Chains A and B, each alone.
Chain A
Amino acid sequence: MRDVVVGAGGSTQWDPLEPAVDLAESGLLDYLVFHCLSERTLALSQLRKLADPNTGHDERLPAICDTFAPYMAQGLRLVGAFGVVNVDRAAEIALTQLRKAGLEGHKVGVVRGDDVLDTVIAENSELPTLGMRVGDLGDKLISAHAYIGAEPIVESLAAGADLVLGGRFTDAALYLGPIAFEKGWGPSDWNELALGFLVGHFLEGARYCIGGNFADPPYREVPRMHEIPYPYAVVGDDSFELRKLPGTGGLNNRHTAKSHLVYEIHDPTKYFSPDVTADISNVIVEEIAEDAVRLSGATATGRPDDLRVAVGLDYGWKSVVEGSFGGPGCVTRAQTTADAIRNRLDRYSYDFLDTHYNLHGVNGLFGDQLKSDSDPVEVRLRVAIRCNTRDVAELINLECEQGIMNWGACGGGGRTRTVTPVIGITSAFIPRSKINITSEVITI
């Protein structure tokens, strides 16, 4: 079977498009894949959609269509979770933009069915982490989206889609779909699916697997960190090559590859996804050329019966206020101010769900687990409080700012403050048979 070449279009909705354009321009790719969702994105997008039914999709979609239409005209296919929580709106935009760009006769695949809010309500699904059921949430329930697999992507591509879009695809499925389609793998070709899943595990991290989040000088140096590109994979039948374009920044060797192999995994012998439960504990990582790594050895024997569902909850409002203190005694002054703010805020504590006081430079990241022998020359006080109501969050936000700038210890400056809605995400698990995923292919 011929090699399939898939490239990363980014790993979040905020990633720039230029490195993806570089990949498209190289002419090497069969597929360019956009992974645009994080745990929170769905619920936040759901809130946007509730306020305005024309939103909730990946807002970059018009630009993505315009930018990549010329490459699609030459045969490049795109796959992405562009729909987020509004697949219909994303489909409209894609059809309109691609028609404008002159791609009449091309096809758009639209995958629906990941929104399972009605199902989890009807099933009163269990929420194991919270120790409760969906019915216990009342009006706190915002959204529920099933992590869906590669099969509807394969179906869309088989029906001729040049662009496939949907919502909560599992990150790796976005890559596994086109690979499985091109290779002709079936839904029980377990070791092959594990290989395609492993490709997705790497590429969905985009810069993370070729030198991003890696440098720790002098132990680990990454050349031209400001020019780390997006990676691509040349997928064979039992291994794949992780690559980056020649002349780009970043680093691609056995250490960067292994650092990403272990990223966000739990039991490496049971890495769950909708398509395959993969065993990556025996993956072989080989440096085969400068800036090219070969990976092989992922295996599988099945897939889970149930699909994971990301349930979004209204978790109140978060107030965060920060301000800096410097020079002799700065830690004491910041701590004194924190204590005073705590006393001042006590009157609002009936509305508090969680509080977090810390001093950046002392205990911001690791609590008291790492101690310094000497005082820092400056510290930054941070007061984060989650409230039930927006009103109290706004009130205490101002009180904290006043504490730092006005009535606290001397020399507090450079304050910043924010109040934001909080969306909690927790998991439910529902049987596949309860989820109706559809794919529709529309000619432009």
Chain B
Amino acid sequence: MKLRELALTRSGDKENISNIGVVPYDETDYDLLREKLTVDLVREKFGPLVKGRILRYEMPGPKCLNFVMHEALEGGVSYSLRTDPHGKSYQSLMLDIDIDTEDKPPKLR
């Protein structure tokens, strides 16, 4: 199942760092995403787009995850030559990640 079925995302930038927040539509899927949406999966999806480290933070109050991707914008909005120097579109690439939900069917939205 694509992450898009389970969550919404938003990306932001600060210099050469891109962050993507992941918000499950249903809060009860938070634990599923904590287990399944790993840094390794995100690393695999973004490949060479992210040259630095990727960190994942948990937000237990609002039940969101936050991924912080270093060296992800070819310099950052001020001088990157990328078509999308802010990485605004990265949120949509994130939603294309496949989440293995066979052992834990998520609740219908």
Contacts and interface: CB of A to CB of B under 8 A. Distances in A.
Interface range on chain A (Cβ under 8 Å from partner): 35 or more
Interface in B17-60: 17, 19, 21-23, 25, 45-49, 55, 57-60
Nearest to B58: A281
A124 interface: no
Interface centre among A258, A262, A281, A422 (most CB of B within 10 A): A262
A210 B55 CA distance: 28
A413 interface: no
Given A318-B81, A384-B81, A263 B89 contact: no
B13 interface: yes
Interface residues of B, number: 46
B61 A281 contact: yes
Interface stretch (A27-35, A185-193, A361-369): A361-369
Nearest to A318: B81
A52 interface: no
Nearest to A364: B83
A370 B93 contact: yes
A266 interface: yes
Contacts of A261: 21, 59, 62, 64
Given A365-B83, A369-B49, A262 B59 contact: yes
Contacts of B8: 214, 216, 219-220, 255, 259
A225 to B, nearest CB: 16
Contacts, number: 143
A119 interface: no
A262 B16 contact: no
B95 to A, nearest CB: 8
Interface string A5-49: 000000000000000000000000000000000111001000000
A39 B80 CA distance: 13
A213 B10 contact: yes
Nearest to A40: B78
B49 A255 contact: no
A90 interface: no
Contacts of B84: 364-365
A358 B88 CA distance: 17
B53 to A, nearest CB: 12
Contact of B62 (A220, A266, A283, A358): A283
With most chain A CB atoms within 10 A of its CB, the pick from B21, B46, B83, B96 is: B83
A358 B85 CA distance: 14
A280 interface: yes
Given A264-B12, A264-B14, A356 B81 contact: yes
A294 interface: no
Interface stretch (A72-80, A239-247, A390-398, A424-432): A424-432
Given A255-B25, A384-B81, A283 B15 contact: no
A364 to B, nearest CB: 4
A385 interface: yes
A427 B68 CA distance: 18
B39 to A, nearest CB: 15
Nearest to A263: B12
Contacts of B59: 261-262, 268, 280-283
Contacts of A40: 77-78
12 contacts: A216-B4, A259-B8, A259-B21, A266-B57, A267-B57, A268-B57, A283-B59, A283-B62, A354-B74, A364-B84, A365-B93, A424-B79
Interface of A: 38-40, 43, 129, 213-214, 216, 219-220, 255, 258-269, 280-285, 297, 315, 318, 320, 354-356, 358, 360, 364-370, 382, 384-386, 422-427
Given A266-B19, A266-B57, A369-B48, 6 more contacts: A40-B77, A255-B23, A258-B23, A259-B8, A315-B78, A367-B48
